């Protein structure tokens, strides 16, 4: 199937006000997470390698919330947090789904957990597929929402139908490799997988990473390789710009607490996870677009809408949405917005006051390992044929060193009160 996703203009008439816990409907009046049966009780927290889980560990641990945290390896950084009192190692769903389910049940019995909270797409998809076999309640989105929020093609189609700008995109699947000669796109072309994770047989498989094609030969070679492996891919217009996220907690699509952030540096200057980001007040039109998306989905829980703002035109394009906590969630905590705790309050039908949804703009959160990788890649120089912005060697060195003395910049993993997760992550990277 070959589908074209057309971009649409973003209407900017009208502004939506943020709501807080005092004016939202009661939590039982909105869509709860799938298979949810009541209060969280003790939580089995998965994906200990991720910053998403580390944010929950630090937030809940400081407040005495009962949880046990698990990792896919003994070196997962969240297991080394001072707030992780009960830890375990389980089989990754990327290795074996049946063993993953067995481990979740075994550890839920051992730690007497009432619920399981996965923070990665792979674990969320596994818990969704096997939720009837789980002995504890999974805190995950409903199945029909997972099919949309974890699928970039469906997300972009939804956005375009709501009048939200998206990059010009063509989806390829099946026998579409035969039609590659017919494609007319300006280079470079962004080639990405429709979904980051896919359920294949007895495991979850991670899709190929995003790459750039600078000519017809590169485009056809990469597309044929992916299509032959049965992958569905997106060919996308290249946008030279910077990333902006509108993220927070939603109840039936309505915002409970929202924060904006702008990416200042990425671990790969050509595009990748955030290395340095700054908390900002979301632009009204981007906030409105994010709310319209999640209202249409009637989404409940943590989520982020990611945009890219074109350097020249200033126009923002929706790139994807995440129906889970996002990679820069620790920036929210550093800015004074404790979203993991507020989500725990949501799940337990507790009121959220407006003072709990306030945060400080202008806080910069850094992942020093990703930032160091960014520096080394910048020192190699601008890649041949790269059409976008790219920091010079001198500018990269200055900005990297400058972050060490910037009072508004803090490392998000390496903190004074909880340094061990950083060194665990460092050892994992070095090994």
Closest C-alpha among 207, 52, 202 to residue 129: 202
CATH number of 241-430: 3.30.470.20
Domain 34-140 = CATH 3.40.50.720? yes
Locate the DSSP E strands across 189-240: 189-193, 197-200, 203-206, 211-213, 233-237
Closest C-alpha among 233, 229, 197 to residue 92: 197
CA distance 336 to 382: 37
pLDDT band at 84 (very low <50, low <70, confident <90, very high): very high
pLDDT band at 168 (very low <50, low <70, confident <90, very high): very high
Instruction: Identify the helix (H) or strand (E) that includes residue 174.
Output: none
Mean pLDDT of 118-128: 97
pLDDT tens by residue, 307-335: 999 999 999 999 999 999 999 999 999 99
Closest C-alpha among 75, 73, 78 to residue 90: 73
Number of C-beta neighbours around residue 64 at 10 A:
7
The SS3 of residue 279 is strand
Q: Is 161 or 180 the better-scoring residue by pLDDT?
A: 161
CA distance 429 to 70: 19
pLDDT tens by residue, 23-42: 344 444 444 554 444 577 99
Closest C-alpha among 50, 51, 409 to residue 264: 409
Looking at the chain, the domain(s) classified CATH 3.30.1490.20 span 2-16+148-237
Query: 411 pLDDT exceeds 90?
Result: yes
CA distance 75 to 262: 30
CATH for 2-16+148-237 (3.40.50.720, 3.30.1490.20, 3.40.50.880, 3.50.50.60): 3.30.1490.20
Looking at the chain, the domain(s) classified CATH 3.40.50.720 span 34-140
pLDDT band at 181 (very low <50, low <70, confident <90, very high): confident
431 burial level (CB within 10 Å; 0-12, 13-18, 19+): exposed
CB 242 within 8 A of CB 227: no
- Angle, vertex CA 29, rays to CA 24 and CA 32, nearest 5: 105
CA distance 360 to 138: 32
Mean pLDDT of 253-269: 97
The two three-digit tokens of residue 197, written as one number: 């994770």
Looking at the chain, the domain(s) classified CATH 3.30.470.20 span 241-430
């Amino acid at each position: 199937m070959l589908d074209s996703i057309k971009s649409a203009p973003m209407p900017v008439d009208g502004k939506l006000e943020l709501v807080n816990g005092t004016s939202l409907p009661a939590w039982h009046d909105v869509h709860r997470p799938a298979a949810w049966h009541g209060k969280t009780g003790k939580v089995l927290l998965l994906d200990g390698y991720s910053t998403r889980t580390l944010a929950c560990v630090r937030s809940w641990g400081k407040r005495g919330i009962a949880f046990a945290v698990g990792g896919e390896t003994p070196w997962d950084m969240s297991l080394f947090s001072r707030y992780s009192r009960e830890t375990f190692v389980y089989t990754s769903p990327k290795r074996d789904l049946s063993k993953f389910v067995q481990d979740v049940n075994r550890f839920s019995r051992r730690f007497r957990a009432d619920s399981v909270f996965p923070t990665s797409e792979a674990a969320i998809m596994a818990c969704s597929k096997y939720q009837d076999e789980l002995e504890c309640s999974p805190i995950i989105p409903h199945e029909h929402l997972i099919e949309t929020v974890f699928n970039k093609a469906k997300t972009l189609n939804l956005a375009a139908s709501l009048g939200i700008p998206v990059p010009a995109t063509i989806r390829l699947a099946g026998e579409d490799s035969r039609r590659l000669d017919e494609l007319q796109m300006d280079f470079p072309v962004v080639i990405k997988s429709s979904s980051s994770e896919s359920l294949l047989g007895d495991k979850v498989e991670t899709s190929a990473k995003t790459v750039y094609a600078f000519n017809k030969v590169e485009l056809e070679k990469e597309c044929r390789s992916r299509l032959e492996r049965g992958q569905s891919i997106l060919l996308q217009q290249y946008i030279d710009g910077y990333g902006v996220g509108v993220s927070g907690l939603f109840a039936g699509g309505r915002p409970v607490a929202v924060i904006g952030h702008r990416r200042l540096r990425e671990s790969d200057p050509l595009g990748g996870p955030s290395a340095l980001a700054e908390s900002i007040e979301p632009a009204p039109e981007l906030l409105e677009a994010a709310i319209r998306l999640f209202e249409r989905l009637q989404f409940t829980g943590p989520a982020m809408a990611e945009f890219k703002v074109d350097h020249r035109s200033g126009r923002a394009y929706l790139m994807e949405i995440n129906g889970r906590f996002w990679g820069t969630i620790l920036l929210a905590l550093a800015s004074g917005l404790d979203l993991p705790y507020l989500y725990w309050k949501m799940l337990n039908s507790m009121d959220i006051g407006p003072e709990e949804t306030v945060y400080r703009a202008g806080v910069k959160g850094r992942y020093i390992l990703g930032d160091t990788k960014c520096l080394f890649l910048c020192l190699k120089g601008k890649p041949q044929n790269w059409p976008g912005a790219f920091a010079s060697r001198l500018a990269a060195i200055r900005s990297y060193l400058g972050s060490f003395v910037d009072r508004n910049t803090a490392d998000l993993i390496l903190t004074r009160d909880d340094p061990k997760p950083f060194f665990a992550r460092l050892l994992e990277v070095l090994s």
